[in-house]
Amino acid sequence: MEECIFCKIVKGDIPCSRIYEDDMFLAFLDISPINKGHVLLIPKEHHRDIFDTPDDTLAGFAKTAKKIAKAVKQATDADGINLGQNNGKAAGQEVSHSHMHIIPRFADDGLKHWPGGNYEEDEAEKFAEKIKDRL
C-alpha cells in the first residue's frame, strides 16, 4: 500500500518547510496556502483523523497548535487565526493523517465564512437531544 504523504514528510523522504518539531509533533507550511503562512500541524505517529487520535496526543495537539498559532499571527501580522481540522472526505479531508490547519486571516482577505442555515420548529431541540444521548 502507498505510504501516507505526511508520514513521508515525518521521515524526511519528502521535503517540507519545517516550522516546529518535538518528539510528538511536526509543523510545516501548507504547500497550497489559503493565506501565506498557513501551517499544518501533525502528530508524528500516523492517526487517520481526530477519532483515531489518542486523547493524550490530542491534548498536546491543542497546546502545540496554540503556540504555533501565536507565532503565525505575529509573523504574518494577521488580524485573526483559523484553526481547522477536516475529518472524513465529506468534511474536506484529503490527507488521511490527522492534521490541524493554522491559517492566518486578514480583515480584507476576501475569504467567506461558512453560510449559516436554520432549524424548523422544535428541530434544534431534537438534534441537541440526539447528540447529548451519545455523549
Provide the minimum distance between the beta carbon of 94 and ligand AMP in the complex, in angstroms, as a whole number.
4
Q: Is 30 in the site for ligand AMP (CB under 6 A)?
A: yes
Q: Kindly state whether residue 111 participates in binding ligand AMP, applying the rule CB under 6 A.
A: no
Using an 8 Å Cβ cutoff, are 24 and 53 in contact?
no
Q: Binder to ligand AMP among 13, 31, 62, 67 (CB under 6 A)?
A: 31
CB of 86 to ligand AMP, least distance (A): 4
Residues 5-24 that bind ligand AMP (CB under 6 A): 5, 14, 16
Query: Is 99 an active-site residue?
Result: yes
| H or E stretch covering 133 | helix 123-133
Question: Is residue 35 near ligand AMP by the rule CB under 6 A?
Answer: no
At CA 128, angle to CA 125 and CA 130, rounded to 5? 110
Burial 5-24 (b: 16+ CB within 10 A, else e): ebeebbeeeeebeebeeeee
- DSSP element (H, E) containing 19: strand 18-21
Active site residues: 99
Residues within the interface to ligand AMP (CB under 6 A): 5, 14, 16, 30-32, 40, 86, 92-95
